[in-house]
Amino acid sequence: MSGRLYGVGLGPGDPELVTVKAARLISAAEVVVYHSARHGRSIARSVAAPYLREGQIEEQLIYPVTTEATSHPGGYQGALDEFYESCAARLAAHLDAGRDVVVLAEGDPFFYGSYMHLHKRLAPRYEATVVPGVTSVSGASATLGRPLVERDEVLTVLPGTLPSATLAARLAGDDPAVIMKLGRTFGAVREALETAGRLDEAWYVERATTPSERTAPLADVDPETVPYFSIAVLPSRLSPGLSDLAPAPAAPSTASTGEVVVVGLGPAGREWQTPESQAALAAADDLVGYGPYLDRVPANPRQRRHPSDNRVEAERAAFALDLAARGARVAVVSSGDPGVFAMAAAVLEVAEEPRWKHVPVRVVPGLTAAQAVASRVGAPLGHDFCILSLSDRLKPWDVISSRLAAAAAADFVIAIYNPASKSRREQIVAAKALLLEHRDADTPVVVGRDVGGPEESVRIVRLGELDPADIDMRTLLIVGSSQTRTDGHTVYTPRRYPA
């Protein structure tokens, strides 16, 4: 027997506004499905998270395009049609196997929801049930404390993607209205409201019912701060005593300050980032970091960016903490993992000062450069290994050399960060000589440069043939142990060590 398809509405954002039926179906489902953009974050999944359980199959449907252009021969609509056909086929495989499938939908599944595109393709072949949810329109009305419609009024719901002139014509008159899908359309929507003579009665509601909800007279809103999940509301004019009522303020924050989140970007582009790191970057008000690393984060006009030189970690940390102390949500970006020779330690060191003790600091991990380089050749880090930096800017060379000698004598595989720079060449020469005191000249060494980037280069060489002249600051070395094996293309260190 085939499984059953459920389109489940989650409401406007507050997990407590998920219906009892929706919560029950989400918990019972064998397969849970949710949409996301390419950044990997899913609002639907975050709302449903309290009702998920271990062992469920999760299918993430990643839109091929959102607002950007596409090279698909069918254009934007062609790309989406192909996407939905592919997604429907994925879900049909579960349904054919007898698994019940729950598709999560923000708000109501049939109210501007993506679920409807799957429903149209699958409902003719499988049993399908739609579970309604509280819409964002209802959530916004409740947040404002203003009735939407009364008596003979007619509520009009409009997408902000309509041309401004069309919107203005639809808004003519006195009846209540709601305009969805703001974000990039906000300027045109504001123009339409002004043309229709209704700007002064319009309210702006952002992320209704969530901890980050925001309300304001629409005329006062900065277009650069408007996300997609916001709507414009022209409420009922008929409620006595409410015509001049200001919207209910958003729930006050429980924190008196902002927060510093030290975020690992991974070794290269966005595809190396985790959904958690992408979410932390998206939530930030301010981005702080070394200029080239900040350049790897897509620009967002809502956010302030503060690039700096790579040699001012303590000053950068203090700057970020000061911003957070004044209420900002600050993301300090770090290449690779922020806890490995990067900004996490710098921020925590500075945060020990009494003036920063009250500022929350958390660390979001990232894929390390060592892991990235290792993945290109196999599994050189398959047994015990250690990580060392050859930079003597913050520690003396005699400490570095003694640690390198100890690691080499203990037969660790060694990942070497910061092996050389334009002004620091002698360390890699000395390190090679020291390693050869403990390792055979045939020991494989992986030389990885700009892994994941446009100039990626990964080579396997013998330790005795390692040329220090080929090494720079963008290079990472993995020096094998006595047990590390290679065929010239693949490198791995066996999990078992000889007795």
Please list the pLDDT of the chain residue by residue as tens digits (499 residues). 889 999 999 999 999 999 999 999 999 999 999 998 877 778 899 999 999 988 899 999 988 877 667 778 888 788 888 999 999 999 999 999 999 999 999 999 999 989 999 999 999 999 999 999 999 999 999 999 989 999 889 999 999 999 999 999 999 988 999 999 898 899 999 999 999 999 999 999 998 988 778 899 999 999 888 888 899 999 998 864 444 444 444 443 334 468 999 999 998 878 888 888 988 898 889 999 998 899 989 888 788 999 887 778 888 899 999 899 888 899 999 999 999 989 999 999 999 988 888 899 999 999 999 999 999 999 999 999 999 999 888 889 999 999 999 999 999 999 999 998 877 888 899 999 999 999 999 999 999 998 988 889 999 999 999 999 889 888 999 999 999 999 999 999 999 998 7
Q: Give the separation between CA 47 and CA 193, rounded to whole angstroms.
A: 32
Element (H, E) at 131: strand 128-131
Of 400, 402, 395, give the one whose Cα is nearest residue 416: 400
pLDDT at 300: 82
> How many CA atoms are closer than 13 Å to the CA of 86, on its beta-carbon side?
12
Q: Are 472 and 420 in contact (CB under 8 A)?
A: yes
Tokens 């203005």 correspond to what residue?
168
> Count of residues for the chain?
499
Report which of 196, 13, 41, 29 is spatially closest to residue 105, judged by C-alpha positions: 13
Kindly state the helix (H) or strand (E) to which residue 128 belongs, with its residue range: strand 128-131
Q: At what angle do helices 343-351 and 313-325 cross, to 10 degrees?
A: 60
Q: How far is CA 25 from the centre of its chain?
A: 27
CB atoms within 10 A of CB 67: 9
Q: What is the CA radius of gyration of the chain?
A: 28
Q: What is the pLDDT of residue 126?
A: 96
Claim: this prediction has a pTM higher than 0.85: no
For position 257, what pLDDT does the model report?
62
> b/e per residue, 175-212, with b = 16+ CB within 10 A?
ebbbbbbbeebbebbbebbebbebbebbbbbbbbbbee
Q: Contact at 8 Å (CB) between 476 and 448?
A: yes
Q: List, in order of start, the domains of the chain with CATH numbers.
A: 5-133 (3.40.1010.10), 137-234 (3.30.950.10), 259-367 (3.40.1010.10), 370-492 (3.30.950.10)
How far apart, in whole angstroms, are the C-alpha atoms of residue 336 and residue 373?
11
Under 8 Å between Cβ of 126 and 36: no
Those residues whose C-beta lies under 8 Å from the C-beta of residue 124, and which sit 6 or more positions away, are none
CA distances in angstroms from 464 to 373, 432, 446, 480, listed in the order given: 20, 8, 13, 12
**SS3 call for 65:** coil
Cβ(382)–Cβ(478) under 8 Å? Answer: no
- Provide φ and ψ at 135, rounded to 5°: -80, 165
Q: What is the dihedral of CA 152, 158, 164, 168, to 10 degrees?
A: 0
| DSSP β-ladder status, 385-389 and 230-234 | unpaired
- Whether residue 107 contacts residue 181, with contact meaning beta carbons closer than 8 Å, is answered with no
Contact 183, 189 (CB under 8 A): no
Provide the pLDDT for residue 68: 64
The pLDDT value given to residue 250: 41
Tell me if residue 331 falls in helix, strand or coil. Answer: strand
Alpha-carbon dihedral angle through residues 402, 352, 326, 324, given to the nearest 10 degrees: 40
> Across the chain, how many H-helices and E-strands are there?
14, 23
Q: Quote the CA–CA distance of 205 and 190 in Å, as a whole number.
A: 14
The two three-digit tokens of residue 62, written as one number: 């990643």
Contact present, 422 and 474 (Cβ < 8 Å)? no
